[in-house]
Structure 1
Amino acid sequence: MQPQVIIADDHPLFRTALKQAIVECLPDAGVIEADCFDDLLIGVEANPNLEIVFLDLHMPGNNGFTGLTQLQNHYPDLVVIMVSSDDNVQTMQKAISFGAAAFIPKSADLTTIGQAIEVVLDGEVWLPSHVETDTIDNENSQANQHLAKQLAQLTPQQYIVLTQIADGRLNKQIAYDLDIKETTVKKHVSAILVKLKVNNRTLAGLAYQQLMLAAPENRSD
């Protein structure tokens, strides 16, 4: 049985190209498309058999690796492949250290995309050939891996509360937004601090903000 795939990217032309590569590699795969992160989440919820997500690094609702870690937190069995024209080596290595199965530059041709998909389906990690994989296990990478593991320990509700903390929301505001009691928010905050091993909500918010990247200038991804 071929895997079910969802492409999350706000550029229709790239979605079409990526879909072509997927169909050539996996002719019987079911492919769903989403042009924003909220639609991606709706698609994932509606299709429990989904196995692979192609996620744009910069798209509405996703900033850097926030979407990657949210998917890992909410749907740990999904395989996430990052795609972007923002393809500097540090960004690609950071994606892998945060748990992505691959990072495919949008400049890649269909053959390369197909090779990346095959490697991922074999359970391996894929990066472009010019990226030195033996440099990934450096100090920064280990710190990113540690943060990813801490975020994975949060419950889905705690993860959402953390995103609100990072946005500077107060407990009362978070309670209103999530339609829960303020005492419940306080319990979530306390649990978040313990799991992230930080002393206050400011540090928790800063930890989450490490996932974010500045959108590239003259963005074409």
Structure 2
Amino acid sequence: MIGAQVAIADDHPLFRAALKQAIFECLPNAGMLEAECFAELLSLIEQNPTLEIIFLDLHMPGNDGFTGLTQLVNHYPDLIVIMVSSDCNGENMQKAINFGATAFIPKSADLATIALAIDSVLDGNVWLPENNQEGVDQQTALNNKKLAKQLASLTPQQYKVLAQIADGQLNKQIAYDLAIQETTVKKHVSAILEKLEVNNRTLAGLAYQQLMHTAAENEAVTH
């Protein structure tokens, strides 16, 4: 990937600077873009169709848990998304891979480790730290993988409707926000329920919210 276009989406300038240094070691001719929030990242993607690799902070503004990752994988399947985070427990790492990331790089990693992860991804591999399996429940991993496939089957518009459902919005409110007919919303809801294999919108909203169960939940368990 000589001359690859790379975007770093992270709200911490010091980490962006360290990551840029590691990237230049692997891709000395890479074009580098930066975003401080998820909305800015989406603008960069739209404005730069040659973008190939994204380094996505798990907790950057506008990215609620794994919702940003799932949105990128669903809407831009050709992009390589590498998750970065200081919240690097085994469950989060496995979730990131299940939801479509090609690697999970802890923010505590040194430059050599970051370079190793980038090289591995460029070789077509999935990369995780060696100790990533600690604390990962196999059944949970399988459930996450199934949910990831189900969410990836949603159209972009269905994904937007699901996010509104998870936020407690009624069909009339969703229709107004998305500028579509309420009957269209109802059709989307029916399709969402079928694809997620659930019986009602409450369960659909809960499925979406599973993407956001990250650091806060884990911190509550450890304290």
Same fold (TM over 0.5): yes
User: 2-side partners of 1:93 and 1:102: how far apart?
Assistant: 10
TM-score normalized with structure 1 length = 0.93
1:148 corresponds to which letter in structure 2? A
Aligned-residue CA RMSD (Å):
1.7
SS at match of 1:107: coil
User: 1-side partners of 2:88 and 2:214: how far apart?
Assistant: 13
Cα 1:118/1:136, change in 2 over 3 Å: farther
122-131 vs 148-157, which moves further:
122-131
What's the % identity of the aligned pairs? 73
User: 2-side partners of 1:215 and 1:140: how far apart?
Assistant: 17
Please report how far the alpha carbon of residue 137 of structure 1 lies from its aligned counterpart in structure 2 after TM superposition: 8.5
The equivalent of 1:12 in structure 2 is 13
SS at match of 1:63: coil
In structure 1, the gaps of 5 or more residues are none
Higher relative contact order (CA 8 A, sep 6+): 1
1:177 corresponds to which letter in structure 2? D
1:195 corresponds to which letter in structure 2? K
The equivalent of 2:155 in structure 1 is 155
User: 1-side partners of 2:128 and 2:144: how far apart?
Assistant: 17
The equivalent of 1:206 in structure 2 is 206
User: 1-side partners of 2:65 and 2:85: how far apart?
Assistant: 10
Q: Please say if 1:82 is aligned against 2:83.
A: yes
2:157 corresponds to which letter in structure 1? Q
TM-score normalized with structure 2 length = 0.92
Please report how far the alpha carbon of residue 112 of structure 1 lies from its aligned counterpart in structure 2 after TM superposition: 0.7
Runs of 4 or more, structure 1, over 4 Å off, are 214-217
Q: In the alignment, is the contact (CA less than 8 A) between 2:56 and 2:81 conserved in 1? A: yes
In structure 2, the gaps of 5 or more residues are none
Please report how far the alpha carbon of residue 132 of structure 1 lies from its aligned counterpart in structure 2 after TM superposition: 3.8
